[in-house]
């Protein structure tokens, strides 16, 4: 590299004034282009020295020649695809891939991300043997440091989850850290997580190896080719327009990284690809006086907001600062973004953190400060999958500074998705259909990514919430509820009340309460649950997804009978709980359907299903002008009236008897409530408690709410939030889609066979798969576990993702949990499986297996005994407690 004044400077912050005076020394140095390695000529499949003509047609066109795009091309080719064309606007791997830090770690916040990183690790290790291209792969391992007990607990929880996946990891003491890394200052550490399998690579070389491998399978790679427009016809991809001419194609994959958002706008139907770029800085030193060994572990000091890896005898160190700098890519090409300027003032806090953690670097020499572009998404998870409105248009982008760790696994899953119609793992947390157009505002994205980037290393306790981009979607009751103490969380952009703070409580301390233990809102939620069970509560559930399906003939019924596992041919006014299944029998949606009239249906789905469910229904709808689907989510406010006195409140407001004899369970009537007409009143609450859901036209919402609260005063009415709802539904063993159910879960595995129309001579999606599963037996089962010998006041709480052990052997994981105020114990829901048979095949599970085992739930490495059941047993405990109370009372009276 070119020599420079700054290259001879030591790392001491005292030198900053002198360093900053050396203006223009780095920034646009040509040497940066050779940071890892120079672009290489590949095989004949890659257009490098002179541009070969583009093919006139292909099966799939991939836009983006970074490590994500080459991974998709490689995996599609491995699955037998032909006529694959990869287009890159500049040089192959010359964007973020060229400058990324080269760390491959499985220390990720959710299971699917750890799976992708684990696969990437294995892929990069074998690529050199497969291609002959050196990738710089070194299995260094990594150390995740903890400066406080909360961080240490989060690492212990991570370790428990990784062990379930079979990933080797160890929770270690500070002294062991010092043995593993010669430079780490351990004086302020309480512990660490050691991941021996983590690695470092040269990301441009991995990209080059993937491109070589893809080209050897027949993939055509064309550099210096810009995609200007994606051609569509009747909701399908038909081709792309480039600056070198058109290419006809059936599939298009947007792997454009920083430019994925703009590329999403480059078609007649605009695609929402919600991501935004930020500048990401890291420092390179010259080799240390005692060069650092290449296999020295990577250090992730998240409390210090930095990472450090060995690099050519010195170190590479970057981080995720609290005040990130967004990148504005509009109108800028790859070269513009490559030449971003260094900013020593901005990097100073991370440099100081580095010297605190590794004081031995004080005298080391700086080689370069790199400013690398990275793209981030609104929820810190990448974007993957087919877009909801155009068939054949796929996206893989927004890697949140983990592109190298994710690229191998993400490319594999997307290739499977395109080949089979689904990936081999549950990728819903990454599915692009979790977002809609509402998250595509540039202003929203700029504000949100400035929060997201620091959050990557922020300590995240259960129930944390984003602070930016809020109050985007609100119920008409929002202001009214807010003045009554509502504390809010956000779901799919919609504000939902968590709980309501009574007058006199310290609002600030509650908002700032963050813990893995008993939370400060415990008693508040307990009072709301008690009111739901003994009096009456209202919960605003307007965020629910709501569709209306209508037809002139039987088309609506025929479509729903095909899509839904349960029988929808019911009398008008009846409500049916049903799943919409895929061909494997897994849940694509879990919903309630009301038959409003002979040819009209009201479909209620989870909040985050708005885009996915719409896409699923439209995908299977025939092209019939007499069949109409409308999203009416915004038309209705949903008010959940829960509790034994709910019928009294509604009776007074409607002058109609609401007793079960006159208003049976799972029934819907359009009624007047107060002065308002056309209220859809449904006898269900989504909790198992008695009560009603009111779907109110939004112009009447405030009136109906005020009337309900006024009349309800004599019955002890109060507001409640989603935390109370969660406690109620979990103790009743109610599974929720997205938490307990996913596209790999079947009704037979979660005790919902009674919601499947096996007795009807009606074909529906997933029927054959369910019949086969019923014949062979299910290999896993949804269970309810009640913790025993667990101190709610002092012990760590379960939240979700905890390992479940049966007779000392790993049997599954929890999917959701809550404290049951009825049972006065913690309840966990999750899936368990028996050990595989002698032939290694999954064994069928039996009720005896569930009922006769000794169960434990692992919370951050500590196991707690639990009792497992296949049905809710709140009533059993309630009876036992009443008998205990009666005995105590009689003993007291006898004294």
pLDDT digits 0-9 by tens, 424-463: 999 999 999 999 888 889 999 999 999 999 999 998 888 8
* 722-731 and 522-534 helices, crossing angle to 10°: 60
How far are the Cα atoms of 370, 463, 723 from residue 507, in angstroms, in the given order? Answer: 43, 17, 17
pLDDT digits 0-9 by tens, 486-510: 999 999 999 999 999 998 776 555 5
pLDDT at 575 over 50: yes
Q: Which of 200, 167, 145 is nearest to 315 (CA)?
A: 200
DSSP state letters, 137-181: -B---EEEEESSHHHHHHHHHHHHHHHHTT---EEE-HHHHHHH-
The reported pLDDT for the residue numbered 574 is 97
Tell me the sheet residues that pair with 814.
830
469: left (phi over 0), alpha (psi -120 to 50) or beta: left
Angle at 740 between CA 739 and CA 746, to 5 degrees: 135
Question: Which own/partner contact pairs does 514-517 have at CB distance under 8 Å and 24+ positions apart?
Answer: 514/150, 514/459, 514/461, 514/464, 515/150, 515/461, 516/150, 516/153, 516/154, 516/157, 516/461, 516/462, 516/796, 516/797, 516/799, 516/860, 517/794, 517/795, 517/796, 517/797
Is 356 within 8 Å of 304 (Cβ atoms)?
A: yes
Question: Which own/partner contact pairs does 579-582 have at CB distance under 8 Å and 24+ positions apart?
Answer: 579/741, 579/747, 579/752, 579/755, 580/613, 580/616, 580/617, 580/765, 581/746, 581/747, 581/764, 581/765, 581/766, 581/769, 581/770, 582/422, 582/743, 582/765, 582/766
Pair of tokens at residue 28: 């646009």
Is 666 within 8 Å of 637 (Cβ atoms)?
A: no
DSSP state letters, 174-220: HHHHHHH-TT---TT--EEEEETT-EE--HHHHHHHHHHHHHHTT-E
Q: Which residue has the higher pLDDT, 571 or 18?
A: 571
| Mean predicted confidence (pLDDT) in 186-198 | 97
In the structure, what pLDDT confidence band is assigned to residue 149 with cuts at 50, 70 and 90?
A: very high
Place of tokens 């505002």: 441
The reported pLDDT for the residue numbered 11 is 57
In the structure, what pLDDT confidence band is assigned to residue 892 with cuts at 50, 70 and 90?
A: very low
Q: In whole angstroms, what is the distance from residue 638 CA to residue 694 CA?
A: 6
Mean pLDDT, the chain, rounded, equals 89
pLDDT at 49 over 50: no
Q: In whole angstroms, what is the distance from residue 32 CA to residue 41 CA?
A: 19
Please give the distance of CA 861 from its chain centroid, rounded to a whole number. 24
pLDDT at 250 over 60: yes
Q: Which of 775-784, 839-848, 870-879 is predicted least confidently?
A: 870-879
Pair of tokens at residue 806: 């049966």
The reported pLDDT for the residue numbered 888 is 40
| Mean predicted confidence (pLDDT) in 599-610 | 96
Tell me the sheet residues that pair with 241.
229, 246
């Amino acid at each position: 590299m070119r020599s420079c004044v700054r290259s001879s400077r030591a790392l001491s912050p005292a030198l900053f004034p002198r360093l900053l005076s050396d203006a223009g020394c780095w920034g646009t140095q040509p040497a940066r282009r050779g940071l890892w390695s120079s672009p290489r000529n590949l095989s004949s499949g890659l257009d490098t020295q002179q541009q070969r003509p583009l093919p006139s047609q292909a099966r799939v066109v991939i836009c983006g020649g970074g490590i994500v795009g080459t991974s998709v091309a490689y995996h599609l080719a491995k699955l037998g695809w032909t006529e694959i064309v990869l287009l890159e606007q500049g040089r192959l791997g010359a964007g973020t891939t060229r400058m990324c830090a080269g760390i491959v770690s499985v220390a990720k916040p959710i299971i699917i991300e750890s799976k992708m990183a684990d696969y990437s690790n294995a892929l990069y290790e074998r690529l050199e043997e497969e291609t002959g291209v050196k990738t710089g792969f070194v299995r260094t391992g990594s150390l995740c440091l903890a400066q406080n007990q909360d961080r240490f607990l989060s690492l212990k929880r991570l370790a428990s989850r990784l062990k379930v996946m079979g990933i080797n990891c160890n929770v270690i003491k500070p002294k062991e850290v010092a043995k593993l890394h010669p430079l780490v200052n351990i004086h302020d550490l309480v512990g660490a997580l050691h991941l021996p399998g983590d690695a470092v690579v040269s990301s441009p070389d991995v990209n080059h190896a993937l491109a070589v491998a893809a080209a050897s399978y027949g993939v055509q790679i064309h550099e210096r080719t810009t995609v200007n427009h994606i051609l569509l016809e009747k909701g399908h991809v038909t081709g792309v327009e480039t600056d070198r001419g058109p290419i006809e194609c059936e599939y298009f994959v947007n792997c454009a990284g920083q430019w994925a958002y703009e590329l999403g706008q480059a078609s007649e139907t605009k695609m929402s690809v919600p991501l935004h770029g930020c500048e990401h800085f890291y420092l390179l030193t010259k080799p240390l006086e005692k060069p650092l060994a290449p296999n020295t572990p990577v250090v992730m000091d998240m409390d210090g907001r930095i990472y450090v890896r060995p690099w050519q005898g010195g170190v590479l160190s970057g981080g995720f600062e609290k005040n990130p700098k967004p990148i504005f890519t509009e109108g800028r090409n790859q070269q513009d973004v490559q030449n971003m300027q260094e900013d020593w003032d901005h990097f100073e806090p991370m440099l100081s953190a580095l010297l605190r953690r590794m004081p031995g670097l004080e005298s080391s020499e700086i080689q370069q400060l790199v400013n690398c572009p990275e793209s981030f998404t609104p929820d810190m998870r990448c974007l993957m999958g087919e877009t909801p409105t155009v068939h054949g248009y796929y996206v893989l982008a927004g890697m949140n500074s983990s592109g190298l760790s994710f690229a191998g696994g993400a490319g594999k899953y997307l290739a499977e998705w395109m080949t089979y119609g689904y990936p081999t793992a549950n990728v819903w947390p990454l599915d692009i259909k979790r977002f809609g157009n509402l998250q595509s505002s540039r202003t929203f994205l700029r504000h949100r990514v400035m929060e997201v980037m620091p959050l990557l290393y922020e300590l995240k306790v259960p129930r944390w919430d984003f602070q930016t981009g809020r109050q985007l979607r609100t119920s008409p009751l929002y202001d009214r509820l807010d003045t009554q103490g509502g504390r809010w969380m956000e779901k799919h952009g919609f504000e939902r009340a968590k709980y309501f703070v009574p007058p006199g409580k310290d609002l600030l301390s509650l908002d700032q309460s963050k813990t893995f233990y008993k939370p400060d809102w415990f008693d508040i939620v307990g009072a709301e649950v008690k009111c739901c069970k003994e009096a009456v509560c209202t919960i605003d559930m307007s965020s629910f997804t709501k569709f209306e399906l209508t037809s002139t003939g039987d088309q609506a019924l025929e479509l729903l009978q095909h899509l839904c596992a349960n029988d929808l041919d019911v009398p008008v006014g009846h409500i049916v709980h049903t799943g919409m299944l895929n061909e494997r029998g897994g849940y694509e949606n879990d919903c309630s359907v009301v038959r409003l009239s002979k040819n009209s249906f009201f479909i209620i789905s989870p909040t985050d299903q708005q885009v996915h469910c719409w896409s699923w229904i439209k995908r299977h709808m025939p092209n019939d002008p007499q069949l109409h689907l409308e999203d009416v989510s915004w038309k209705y406010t949903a008010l959940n009236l829960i509790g034994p006195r709910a019928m009294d409140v509604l009776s007074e407001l409607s002058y109609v008897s609401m007793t079960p004899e006159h208003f049976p369970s799972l029934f819907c009537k359009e009624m007047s409530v107060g002065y308002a007409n056309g209220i859809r009143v449904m006898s269900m609450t989504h909790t198992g408690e008695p009560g009603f859901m009111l779907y109110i036209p939004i112009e009447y919402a405030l009136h109906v709410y005020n009337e309900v609260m006024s009349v309800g005063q004599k019955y002890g009415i109060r507001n409640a939030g989603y935390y109370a709802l969660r406690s109620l539904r979990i103790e009743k063993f109610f599974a929720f889609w997205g938490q307990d159910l996913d596209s790999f879960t079947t009704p037979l595995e979660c005790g919902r066979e009674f919601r499947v129309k096996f007795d009807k001579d009606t074909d529906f999606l997933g029927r054959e798969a369910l019949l086969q599963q019923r014949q062979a037996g299910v290999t896993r089962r949804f269970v309810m576990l009640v913790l025993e010998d667990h101190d709610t006041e002092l012990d760590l709480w379960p939240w979700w993702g905890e390992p479940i052990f049966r007779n000392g052997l790993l049997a599954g994981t929890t999917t959701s949990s809550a404290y049951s105020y009825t049972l006065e114990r913690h309840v966990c829901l999750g899936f368990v499986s028996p050990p595989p048979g002698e032939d290694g095949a999954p064994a069928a599970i039996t009720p005896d297996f569930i009922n006769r085992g000794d169960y434990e739930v692992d919370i951050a490495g500590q196991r707690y005994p639990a009792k497992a059941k296949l049905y809710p047993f709140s009533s059993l405990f309630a009876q036992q407690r009443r008998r205990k109370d009666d005995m105590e009372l009689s003993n007291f009276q006898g004294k």
